[in-house]
Amino acid sequence: MRVQLSDHFTYPKLMRFVTPSILMMICTSIYSVVDGYFVSNYVGKTSFAAVNLMMPVLIVVGAMGFMIGAGGTAIVAKTLGEGDHTKANRIFSLMIYTVVIGGVGLTVVSLLFLKPLAVLLGASGTMLTEAINYARIILIANTFFMLQNVFQTFFIAAEKQKMGLYVTILAGITNIVLDFLFVGQWGWGIEGAALATALSQLIGGTTPFLYFLLPNRSLLRLTRPLWSGKILLKACTNGSSELLTNVSASVVTMLYNFQLLKFAQDDGVAAYGAIMYVNFIFAAVFFGYCLGSAPIISFHYGASNKKELHNLYRKSLTVIGCIGVTMAVISFAMASPFAKLFVGYDADLYRLTVTGFQWYAFSFLLFGFNVFGSSFFTALNNGGISAAISFSRTLLFQVITILILPLWFQTDGIWMATTVAELLSLCVTLPCFLWKKKQYGY
């Protein structure tokens, strides 16, 4: 039996609804990792470092898709909960066409300033050339990447989570196969890895666009947009935490790279890249749960169903806690195999990466609660609190810890920074939950 947004959610029903979103985010993370694996093992650690150096810029440029996706979905799901399906479709269409227009504009600007950005990040010599070549190809497909991100959330609001998963798997398989051919077999180097990713994003962005443009059996369809600056501003405000999360994470990654270059040279950047690739997969479980549960929360908020909001809130915290313990244990226990997968060819780099993995494992005990807190308030259309949690988690405390801890603990201080920052962020998230529980009735 199909699970609907309007249902009462038991643990089994909740997990049935969010599991496709979790798998979708894991698949997205895995195929994002594929470039790093092939570049590191088939091209070399300088090229691998170049990819990691430019990744924050690419994420920042594509972050508009996350913002419109999260903020727009909250409005559309709330509107569906209020029973106005026609308006929901028009708002949905507004969000999609805004992403297309904005994506093209951001791509042009980014390409113009690509080399100065690479130099600013510390690239020089061979690394500079590799970084520019990789990023230029990826940026050309940026609009499709943004569409892929925004459709991930709207598939859930349309009660077509499995369709979103199928699209992600299709794009992921495309990337893996093309990386194997372009980099592993034909030796096209870092440009081949970039081309493989760009083509997979083309598929990931155009397939759902065509699905929603043509007649379909979901709750949503592309139609005449409701051109409303007020609604668009609300979506941007509401999704500001997701934008802030991606932009801040990218800025912090740049800061990590600067510190690692200082304390551990190029090996530090390569080790951090390997840790982040695995972290993408682990964090995807949390993000997938939040992505899948947010439209349910928005729907019941729009329907003024406080009893179900309380049910979703309580069950979500329990699920997040269980996931956190599981992720921490796996990450710590598997540090050596994970490191060997990416940098097993270099003994010193391997040892550095294992140490980083083990320190980073502890952050998963806290990570999920902060991510859920931000997502929860976005779903309740409270972009201000959501952004405050996100700002503290992804920027404020990260910057403080990454600057201070290495002064006392050198490279180990860099690896500790994320866990300490998550602990400090929890001191913001928990009071926000307590502060607003009466207002929203959860």
Least trusted range by pLDDT, from 8-17, 182-191, 295-304, 344-353 = 344-353
Residue 269, pLDDT above cutoff 80: no
Q: What is the mean pLDDT of the chain?
A: 87
Q: 193-248, pLDDT tens digit by residue?
A: 999 999 999 999 999 999 999 998 899 999 999 989 899 998 888 777 677 777 77
- Which residues have C-beta within 8 Å of that of residue 435, sequence separation ≥ 6? none
pLDDT band of residue 425 (cuts 50, 70, 90) is very high
What's the CA angle centered on 106, arms 101 and 109, to 5 degrees? 130
- How do the domains of the chain map onto residue ranges? 11-440
**What are the tokens at 331?**
């990450």
- Over its C-alpha atoms, the chain yields an Rg (Å, rounded) of 21
pLDDT score, position 213: 95
Dist CA 74 CA 380 (whole Å): 7
Mean pLDDT of 384-408: 87
pLDDT score, position 202: 96
Q: 347-366, pLDDT tens digit by residue?
A: 777 887 888 888 888 999 99
Residue 262, pLDDT above cutoff 90: no
9: three-class secondary structure by DSSP = coil
Q: 172-184, pLDDT tens digit by residue?
A: 899 999 999 999 8
Residue 405, pLDDT above cutoff 80: yes
pLDDT score, position 58: 85
- Which residues have C-beta within 8 Å of that of residue 72, sequence separation ≥ 6? 91, 92, 94, 95, 150, 153, 154, 235, 238, 239
pLDDT band of residue 146 (cuts 50, 70, 90) is very high
Residue 371, pLDDT above cutoff 80: yes
pLDDT score, position 1: 60
Least trusted range by pLDDT, from 88-102, 217-231, 390-404, 419-433 = 390-404
pLDDT band of residue 263 (cuts 50, 70, 90) is low
pLDDT band of residue 32 (cuts 50, 70, 90) is low
Least trusted range by pLDDT, from 59-63, 259-263, 333-337 = 259-263
Q: What pTM value is reported for the model?
A: 0.74
- Do 253 and 402 touch, CB atoms closer than 8 A? no
Dist CA 296 CA 301 (whole Å): 8
Nearest one of 71, 95, 80 to 302, comparing CA atoms? 80
53-69 exposure pattern, b = at least 16 Cβ within 10 A, e = fewer: bbbbbbbbbbbbbbbbb
Q: 286-330, pLDDT tens digit by residue?
A: 989 998 899 899 999 888 899 999 999 999 999 999 999 998 998
Least trusted range by pLDDT, from 112-116, 400-404, 413-417 = 413-417
- Do 421 and 398 touch, CB atoms closer than 8 A? yes
- Do 348 and 411 touch, CB atoms closer than 8 A? no
Residue with the larger pLDDT of the pair 42 and 53: 42
Residue with the larger pLDDT of the pair 29 and 150: 150
- Which residues have C-beta within 8 Å of that of residue 314, sequence separation ≥ 6? none
Dist CA 306 CA 439 (whole Å): 10
Residue 277, pLDDT above cutoff 80: no
pLDDT score, position 354: 83
